[in-house]
Amino acid sequence: MTVAGVTIRRLGANDVEAYRALRLQAIRATPFAFTASFEEESTKPLSTMIDRLIAPGRPDDAVFGAFDDAGKLIGIAGLAVAQRPQERHNATLFGMAVAPHATRRGVGRALVVRTLEHAGSVHGLLQVQLRVSEGNAAAEHLYRSCGFEEWGREPRAIMVQGTAVTKIHMVRMLDA
């Protein structure tokens, strides 16, 4: 899937500052959508963020970024593949965020599609899971439209500023 004026590519160590800035912006703007808090995420050293992007020893893990025609990072999404042998057929889509000025342009869908394409290229991977906060209708709609199905709900999965947030568990089976 392509979006006019948007390039999607795998992020690397050189993208760490833009990645961190967009992630922190998203967490601050929509704290109920993320498991990490702004305070927690903002104190992590850049080396931790670099490790998330290049995933040493985990070649199938990837974080993708969407860049506008000016080269500015406007969206992110990651894939983490389970490492234990009996779980290796599972992966998790995580950290999905699109800059507020870039929403409703298909950037989120393009990131999910690219992440699923990558997942489909990983040997032995059968399914991709995610968790979305209840009440985040736009994200839930996006995931459903990309083939994810709900399989359960986790009440009080996270507490944000004293408010309990239920997480909806979703899965998308990959072609076998």
In this prediction, residue 125 has a pLDDT band, given cuts at 50, 70 and 90, of: very high
Quick one: pLDDT at residue 124? 95
Quick one: pLDDT at residue 3? 83
What tens digit of pLDDT does each residue of 50-63 get? Answer: 999 999 899 999 99
Would you give the distance in Å from CA 27 to the centre of its chain? 12
Q: Domain locations in the chain?
A: 7-173
User: Is CATH 1.10.730.10 the classification given to domain 7-173?
Assistant: no
Burial (Cβ within 10 Å: 0-12, 13-18, ≥19) of residue 101? exposed
pLDDT, average across residues 65-77: 97
Quick one: pLDDT at residue 175? 81
Nearest by Cα to 42 from 54, 33, 53, 31: 31
Sign of CA dihedral 40, 130, 145, 167: negative
